[in-house]
Amino acid sequence: MQNRDMPLPVSGRWWRAGAIAIPYAWLLLFFLAPFLLVFKISVADPVVGQPPFTALFPGGGSGLVHISWDNYRFLFEDNLYPVSYLKSVQIAFVSTLLCLLLGYPLAYAIARARHPWRNVLLMLVILPFWTSFLLRVYAWMGVLSDHGLVNNLLLWLGVIERPLKILYTDLAVYLGILYSYLPFMVLPLYASLERLDPDLHDAAEDLGAGPLTVFRDITLPMSLPGIIAGSLLVFIPAIGEFVIPSLMGGLDSLMIGRTLYEEFFSNRDWPMSAAVATVLLLILVLPIMVFQRYQVRERAGVQ
């Protein structure tokens, strides 16, 4: 913290104001204002023209306000949207569970490794995350395709006689999300497991606890913050995922991100897309706020 007993020199006041105001103004303009616009346009009617929606104040300064809730009404009447929202939540939930199932043992294995190895193993988890997301999805399409690695392996082992259809199904979407989001699960889990004092583990064992009891009563509760953070980091973006269902899912993998994208680019119905985005945002407000609180607490812990 700044030494605040001392009055700031004049240049200090300017510097302080600038350092705060410049990034602040940028975020207000390019992050917060756009969300308000999304809401504004979601209560407009679509029109043919540029821009393709009606104005909020059609009378200019005369104070006339044009608000239409038709888009929201349509959103709940047409089956497509409720089904898409539910499907997104379901796919995001299952994928988060899969990430936890693979991520927890992995984070645990890394946290238990000896010191120089730990950083190497952790780096190896992060490395694929840095290489293009799109290309990682592409790589998995190859693995899961009819003549890909998985089918060839199963054929060779004699488990199946004809290639299984994996690509363009929900299973492929689960695997795609699991693969793409795994590092987001592993990093917070590792952070909380690494802090775990091995002496606690030893003490519990000395007192006669079996490995399962030690895990249930010590390791699991102490890694709970990591589980919550990791799950939110996977669950929130996965709900709005577009690329994975679009490239790996079947025609029935109607996740809301994909529905919105198609609504926007194929039907060019901007107000409807804005309404879809507003409802999606409302669904995500709670998990995002939980995530925010967690982040603030974590940072306070660091300081």
Partner 1 sequence: MNRRYPPFLIGVLAFAYAFLYVPIVLVIVYSFNDSRLVSVWGGFSLRWYRALLENEQVLRAAWLSLRVAIVSATVATVLGTLAGIALTRMGRYPGRFLFTGMLAAPLVMPEIITGLSLLLLFVTLQDLIGWPSGRGALTITLSHITFCMAFVAVVAQSRLAAMDAALEEAALDLGGTPFRVTLDITLPLIMPAMVSGWLLSFTLSLDDLVITSFVSGPGASTLPMLIYSKVKLGLTPDINALATLIIVMVSICVGVAGWLMYRRPVPQRV
Residues in 37-56 that interact with partner 1 by CB under 8 A: 37-38, 41, 51
Site pattern 209..228 for partner 1 (x: CB under 8 A)? --------------------
Among 209, 215, 243, 269, binds partner 1 (CB under 8 A): 243
Which residues, 113 to 142, sit near partner 1 by CB under 8 A?
113-114, 119, 121, 123-128, 130-142
Is 203 near partner 1 (CB under 8 A)? no
Distance CA 38, CA 278 (A): 7
Q: What's the CA gap between 293 and 22, in Å, rounded? A: 25
Q: Closest separation between CB of residue 23 and partner 1, Å? A: 4
In the range 51-80, which residues lie near partner 1 by CB under 8 A? 51
Assigned token pair, 106: 């992995």
Closest contact distance (angstroms) between CB of 59 and partner 1 is 16
> Which residues inside 89-118 make contact with partner 1, applying CB under 8 A?
102, 105-106, 108-110, 112-114
- Which CB atom, from 114 or from 162, has the smaller least distance to partner 1? 114
HSE value, Cβ hemisphere, 13 Å, CA-based, for 232: 18
Long-range contacts of 138-145, Cβ-Cβ distance < 8 Å, separation of 24 or more: 138/247, 140/172, 140/175, 140/176, 140/179, 140/248, 141/167, 141/172, 141/247, 141/248, 144/172, 144/175, 144/248
Q: Rounded to the nearest whole angstrom, what is the least distance from the CB of residue 31 to partner 1 in the complex?
A: 5
**Beta-sheet strands, E only, within the chain:** none
281 binds partner 1 (CB under 8 A): yes
- Is 110 in contact with 188 (CB distance < 8 Å)? no
Residue 187, C-beta contacts closer than 8 angstroms, at least 6 positions apart: 122, 125, 126, 230
CB of 170 or CB of 248, closer to partner 1: 248
- Burial (CB < 10 A; 0-12, 13-18, 19+), residue 17, is exposed
Among 100, 155, 171, 247, binds partner 1 (CB under 8 A): 247
Choose the stretch contacting partner 1; rule: CB under 8 A; options: 73-81, 154-162, 214-222, 232-240.
232-240
